[in-house]
Amino acid sequence: MITSSNSVRENAPLLSLTIRQNTSAEADAIKKLINDVASEGVWFVTERYVPTTEWENVFSHPTDFPNHLLLVAEYQKRIIGWCRVFPVFGDKSQHVVDLGIGVAEDRRDQDIGTALMNVAIEWAKRQQFEKITLSVSPINARAIHVFDKVGFVRTGVRYKQFKVRDEYVDEVLMERFLI
Ligand SMILES: CC(C)(COP(=O)(O)OP(=O)(O)OC[C@H]1O[C@@H](n2cnc3c(N)ncnc32)[C@H](O)[C@@H]1OP(=O)(O)O)[C@@H](O)C(=O)NCCC(=O)NCCS
């Protein structure tokens, strides 16, 4: 049985949190945070940062791609969260973007994920996208709670889509319409 380290809320929200677009100087810090969260092993489809064209675009030229967004959450000069919104493959899906998110393990349950999601949703509306998609493991109760809270709905399941430590894990598909 795969378990997660999800917990109930214990921490107070951070008062001086900044949510903003990344800068090109921050690639290494963000990749390190992604690696830290991915190496927890249960949240993402990879256990480390894997470069893709979209990631390299936002790391090198954060403001040059109107259909890409990388947000960071900064607190006391430390990057403690990210949220990326990337285009979906294919000319016929140009109205759709896909979202991924992570918060440093020691900073969860302090409203950071919710704040990142809300800023990303407002950005996607301004860019006139029509829908945001994401996928999540069914054991990730905290993430699903946050996604529900900001208006995502479950649209399907891909059964046994992953194998984590030799156990099958489903993939829950969620989406939020913006129009
Ligand atoms: C999912 C994640 C991004 C959420 O960010 P966060 O800053 O921890 O979330 P918030 O503090 O904004 O909100 C957490 C909410 O989940 C609730 N929660 C905490 N543990 C929970 C659990 N086990 N079950 C259900 N809800 C839970 C909190 O009470 C809070 O709800 P509320 O705002 O209604 O009180 C973050 O926890 C994370 O990075 N997790 C690991 C990586 C990950 O799962 N990424 C998403 C993959 S699709």
- Asked if the model's pLDDT at residue 11 lies above 80, the reply is no
Which distant-in-sequence residues (6+ apart) come within 8 Å of 29 by Cβ? Answer: 79
What's the pLDDT score for residue 4?
Answer: 39
Chain segment 43-53, per-residue pLDDT in tens: 999 999 999 99
25 Cβ below 6 A of ligand 1 = no
140 Cβ below 6 A of ligand 1 = yes
| Dist CA 66 CA 19 (whole Å) | 18
112 Cβ below 6 A of ligand 1 = yes
pTM, whole model, 2 decimals? Answer: 0.93
CA of 113 to the centre of ligand 1 (A): 7
Chain segment 82-116, per-residue pLDDT in tens: 999 999 999 999 999 999 999 999 999 999 999 99
118 Cβ below 6 A of ligand 1 = no
CA of 23 to the centre of ligand 1 (A): 26
- Asked if the model's pLDDT at residue 1 lies above 60, the reply is no
Chain segment 163-174, per-residue pLDDT in tens: 988 999 999 999
Chain segment 116-163, per-residue pLDDT in tens: 999 999 999 999 999 999 999 999 999 999 999 999 999 999 999 999
- Asked if the model's pLDDT at residue 10 lies above 90, the reply is no
7 Cβ below 6 A of ligand 1 = yes
Half-sphere exposure of 1 (CA within 13 A, CB side): 3
The domain locations on the chain are 18-136
CATH number of the 18-136 domain: 3.40.630.30
Quick one: which H or E segment has residue 21? strand 18-21
